[in-house]
Structure 1
Amino acid sequence: MTFLLSALILIGIIIFVHELGHFLLAKLTGVRVLKFSLGFGPKLIGKKYGDTEYLISSLPLGGYVKMLGETPGEELKEEDKLVAYNYQPVWKRFLIVFSGPLFNLVFAFLIFIFIFLSGIPALYPDVGNVTESSPAAKAGLITGDKILEINGRAVDSWDEIINFMDENQGQNLLIKVRRGGNIIELSVTPVRKSGKSIFGEDKELWDIGISPLIYPVVGEVVKGGQAEKAGVEKGDIIANIDGNAIKTWEDMTAIIHGNPGKPLKFKIKRDNHVMEMTIAPVKTPVGDGKEIGLIGIRPSGNDFIKKYSISEAVPLGAKKTWEMSVLTVVSIVKLIQRVIPADTIGGPILIVQMAGEQASRGLLDFILFMAIININLGIINLLPIPILDGGHILFLGIEAISKKPINEKVIAIAQRVGLAIILTIMVFALYNDIIRLVTGKQLF
């Protein structure tokens, strides 16, 4: 019930924000709005102010806007054409159509600002594993060192270390660390390293051969995952896997990721007792035909909550909105190119599951998920598919170039094709959801 309620709140707010964009721009451009409803279905209550009836409807799934003249073939009085949607110049109609997706992106931007102001989890700049023969190892960095400064700039989180390496590609870094009670200065130069993007494709990185210190303590057990089925609990310490001593979270993930589908013997410490479990990591595609193993656990972390000032939160919010928008576009392209498997497409069941999971973790996790879905909806709505906002924008572009409206029959046929495409994708996504439920396959 909580999962369903969380999903209803999520979807309701996202669609309402989208429709609010259309509504406000219609008002600003002088188009008459006949109805603006919070929710769908039969009217519960309503009040008319001016030309617009404001409604609260029975189904709390977003809302809708009804403008004068938006229905093809609608008969209008001559004086009403001045405020009818279809009789407005192309630029006004473009603004009205574009404002829906734009408001989703702006809403995500505002959510990100709120999250940065509230504080986000950040890893302490403590060194975990040091790769043998790496620049860090040659410079003398060891596990447990706390990085205090890089090139004279204070460091308080692991993300800042990564940013320094990206900013100073191949340039020498002067690193100040605390080791025990001593402060030590070391000189190290990042080197190019081949890595993988989130789509499993080759990617060049700058690296000195260190990873953050994250202890192998279970912070969360994913419901329905292999770890939960085996009896792993929050707070468990992973001590050994297949005879390999585990000192850091990275030690553990390297073994799990590298053995998809293979039963592994775990030694787990819980309340001063050592328990043995056998867990087979689920085979999980990561792109490029490759797979990794996952068992469904997340670390408790060596982290803290880092808060940002408003002057920091605004540009960070804009950056995060841009990055997530680009990621959404790239993901769509990778799906078309089949780099991302089609069975990763999720539908309503997955959204309900994820909304419930994020809500159970807390408000910030839930609204972060809301920001991501807002961006997804905003970008997807801009795809040039008839019935989507992007399809309307495409028609407006053709009209602007040809200097005449597109034939209504052509639009009707195109919209039927667009509807067929969207319904096909939705059915396929629902099929994937059902398969995941039946097989227990983990997507993340």
Structure 2
Amino acid sequence: MSLINIIIAIIVLGIIVLIHELGHFILAKLNGVKVEEFAIGMGPKILGIKGKETQYSIRILPIGGYVNMTGEQEKSDDPRAYCNKSPLRRLSIVAAGPIMNLLLAIILYCIVANVTGFASPKISGFTANSAAKEAGVKVNDVIVKADNSSIHTWDDFSLKMLLNKGKTINITVKRNNQIKSFNVKPIKNEKENRYMVGIAPTVVSKPSIIESISYGGSETVTMIKEVFLSFKMLFTGQLSAKDVSGPVSIVRVTGAAASAGFINLINFMAFLSANVGMFNLLPFPALDGGYVILFVIQIITGKKIDDDKVGIVTTIGFALLMALMVVVTIKDVLYPLKI
């Protein structure tokens, strides 16, 4: 692992963390909460600038960041304290970080689409001995569903086929404003060791701004679905612990993406940002999603949950996350991701 790869990875992750924490920071300010520190990184401070009331700092460990608000960790009589704001205002502050990551992903995917074009699920042709063509699928059909799963991007369909184990797949297409469905039996491609139906996407080489924005949003939704699918496969045993990647693998893959060109790096950065956004929205203690659930419950019931109990659960959740990070890092070293 070269030094340049590490530097590039730190910059990429730093931007993603910066955008995330900026979301928390902006909404805190908009809701009248006093922010004591805006930090990128963890551990000892290596650089700091004092603003009107907020300390802006960069810390030595590039593994995250935080926005330290008055009344976030302790009770306070300050009317501008986080703890004295309504559950709805605190919910907006907590949710803003992950939402900013998802918005960043959309913007980055827009840039990729605008520069390189993108593949759409509109069929442009068939391979030899195409199972889809034999089933009745035609050129210019637009794939809208595969086994009742909505298809918005070519990646949606590619993932569906990547996971196919030879089972007949029901493909729903839009043809001249009519919806038609076909049962297609995939054929195994021995060279690639996966099943395929023998269709080619339509490549939009020079998309308009509207098409680029639409692609950015759709591709981000695809990434969100992949996050949920990954967790489902992990908990059902379809993925093993060796398939989970951590910081070391991220550095290696980021370096590989950078070596493949700037646009490839931007594309991988969008992928990371979408994953960071969705991971933080998971309803787990210490993650933003855990607080989102907490505040939603408070808004619905109108009852405040005891801060001490919340603190205990959050501490346990944070400890579990740190333990998971250590385990995944060890796994990365012992079983490095092949790229």
CA contact (8 A) 1:199 1:340 kept: no
Higher relative contact order (CA 8 A, sep 6+): 2
CA contact (8 A) 1:46 1:56 kept: no
Higher Cα Rg: structure 1 or 2? 1
TM-score by length of 1: 0.60
3-state SS of 1:83 partner: coil
Distance in 1, matches of 2:26 and 2:248, equals 32
Distance in 2, matches of 1:400 and 1:200, equals 43
Question: 2:83 aligned to 82, 86, 89, which one?
Answer: 86
Question: 2:299 aligned to 394, 400, 425, which one?
Answer: 400
Structure 1 residue 34, shift from structure 2 partner:
1.8
Counterpart for residue 233 of structure 1: none
Question: Which of 374-383 and 40-49 deviates more?
Answer: 40-49
Aligned length: 304
CA contact (8 A) 2:126 2:133 kept: no
Structure 1 residue 432, shift from structure 2 partner:
2.6
Question: 2:267 aligned to 368, 372, 382, which one?
Answer: 368
CA distance change for structure 1 residues 93 and 254 in 2, over 3 Å: closer, same or farther? same
CA contact (8 A) 1:16 1:64 kept: no
Counterpart for residue 274 of structure 1: none
Counterpart for residue 204 of structure 1: 169
Structure 2 counterpart of 1:400, one-letter code = I
3-state SS of 1:377 partner: helix
Counterpart for residue 50 of structure 2: 47
Structure 1 residue 118, shift from structure 2 partner:
1.2
Structure 1 residue 93, shift from structure 2 partner:
0.1
Counterpart for residue 319 of structure 2: 420
Distance in 2, matches of 1:36 and 1:204, equals 50
Q: Name the one with the larger strand percent.
A: 1
CA contact (8 A) 1:3 1:356 kept: yes
Distance in 1, matches of 2:272 and 2:284, equals 19
CA contact (8 A) 1:199 1:339 kept: no
Distance in 2, matches of 1:394 and 1:127, equals 47
CA distance change for structure 1 residues 54 and 371 in 2, over 3 Å: closer, same or farther? same
CA contact (8 A) 2:109 2:270 kept: yes
Distance in 2, matches of 1:377 and 1:9, equals 15
CA contact (8 A) 2:145 2:172 kept: no
Counterpart for residue 358 of structure 1: 257
Distance in 1, matches of 2:51 and 2:172, equals 62
| Consecutive unaligned residues in structure 1, runs of 5 or more | 140-146, 151-160, 170-194, 209-250, 259-291, 293-302
Structure 1 residue 57, shift from structure 2 partner:
4.6
TM-score by length of 2: 0.77
CA contact (8 A) 2:106 2:270 kept: yes
| Consecutive unaligned residues in structure 2, runs of 5 or more | 147-158, 174-186, 195-201
3-state SS of 2:45 partner: strand
Structure 1 residue 419, shift from structure 2 partner:
2.1
RMSD: 3.5
Counterpart for residue 128 of structure 2: 129
3-state SS of 1:44 partner: strand
Distance in 2, matches of 1:414 and 1:37, equals 24
Structure 1 residue 96 and structure 2 residue 60: aligned? no
CA distance change for structure 1 residues 203 and 120 in 2, over 3 Å: closer, same or farther? farther
CA distance change for structure 1 residues 346 and 200 in 2, over 3 Å: closer, same or farther? farther
Structure 1 counterpart of 2:6, one-letter code = L
Please list the CA deviations of residues 15-41 of structure 1 after superposition, one character each: whole Å capped at 9, or x if unmatched. 111100000000111111122234443
- Equivalences for 1:232-243 in 2 at 5 Å? none
Counterpart for residue 226 of structure 1: none
Please list the CA deviations of residues 157-187 of structure 1 after superposition, one character each: whole Å capped at 9, or x if unmatched. xxxx5xx252599xxxxxxxxxxxxxxxxxx
Structure 1 residue 367, shift from structure 2 partner:
1.2
Distance in 1, matches of 2:134 and 2:297, equals 61
Counterpart for residue 109 of structure 1: 106
Structure 1 residue 137, shift from structure 2 partner:
7.1
Question: 2:189 aligned to 245, 254, 261, which one?
Answer: 254
3-state SS of 2:335 partner: helix
Task: State, as a whole percentage, how many aligned pairs show the same letter.
Answer: 30
Distance in 2, matches of 1:135 and 1:407, equals 58
CA distance change for structure 1 residues 203 and 63 in 2, over 3 Å: closer, same or farther? farther
